[in-house]
Amino acid sequence: MGSSGSHATVIPDGDSIRRETGFSQASLLRLYHRFRALDRNKKGYLSRMDLQQIGALAVNPLGDRIIDSFFPDGSQRVDFSGFVRVLAHFRPVDEEEAGIRDPKQPEPLNSRMNKLRFAFQLYDLDRDGKISRHEMLQVLRLMVGVQVTEEQLESIADRTVQEADEDGDGAVSFLEFTKSLEKMNIEQKMSIRILK
C-alpha cells in the first residue's frame, strides 16, 4: 500500500481515532479512502445524500435505518471520526484482545454489548430504551414481503414482543433484547471480515 508512514498525518485525528476504534493503520487508511470517495463534493463530511447514493442500500430493506444510524442525534453531517465509529462496531472480535482487556477501560466498540446496542438502536427509533410493539411492527413491515397481511404482521409482532418481554411492560428493553439473543453468535454475525 505504498508508504503508510506519512499517511497518518493525512487523516485528521488519526491516532485518537485509532485508539478509540481499534482499527489497524491499514484499515483506517482504507476507510479514509472510502470516506473520501463517498464524499463527492469534497465537503469533508458526509451527508445523508452521499450515503443514499450507495445504490445497494436502496434495495436493502433496512437501508434508511442503516443510514440513519450514521447520524446520531439528528445531526445532518457525519465526519470521518463518526463514520469510523459506526463501522468500528463491526470489527471482528479478536479473542486475545477480549482476554487481556483492562476492565477499567471503556468497552471497545466492537464488544458484544456494543454490537447489540447498535442493533437495538435500529429498532428503537425514539430512543426511549425500549422496543415498543409499534416499533417492532414497523421493523417487521420493512423486512417482510407484501404477501403477508397486516393482521399476520401484527400477530407476529405481538408474539415477538411477548416472547422477549419479561417484566410485562409490553415493550422489550435492551436487557431483555440481549437475553433473547444470548444463544446467538453475535460476534460472528455482526462482524465484517475486511474490517480487521
Residues 71-100 that bind another protein (CB under 8 A): 71, 74, 76, 86-87, 90
- CA 120 to chain centroid, in Å, comes to 9
In the complex with another protein, the residue whose CB is nearer, 13 or 169, is: 169
Q: Per-residue x/- marks for another protein, 166-195, CB under 8 A?
A: --x-x------x--xx-xxxx--xxxxxxx
Measured CA to CA, the distance from residue 20 to residue 88 in angstroms comes to: 9
DSSP secondary-structure letter at 54?
-
- Pairing type for strands 46-47 and 171-173 reads unpaired
**By CB under 8 A, how many residues form the interface with another protein?**
85
162 part of the interface to another protein, by CB under 8 A: yes
The C-alpha cell 411492527 sits at 137
11 part of the interface to another protein, by CB under 8 A: no
In the complex with another protein, the residue whose CB is nearer, 6 or 149, is: 149
Residues 15-34 that bind another protein (CB under 8 A): 30-31, 33-34
In the complex with another protein, the residue whose CB is nearer, 59 or 100, is: 59
Residues 44-73 that bind another protein (CB under 8 A): 47-49, 51-64, 66-68, 71
The C-alpha cell 422477549 sits at 164
Measured CA to CA, the distance from residue 29 to residue 6 in angstroms comes to: 11
Question: 82: how many CB neighbours lie within 10 A of its CB?
Answer: 16
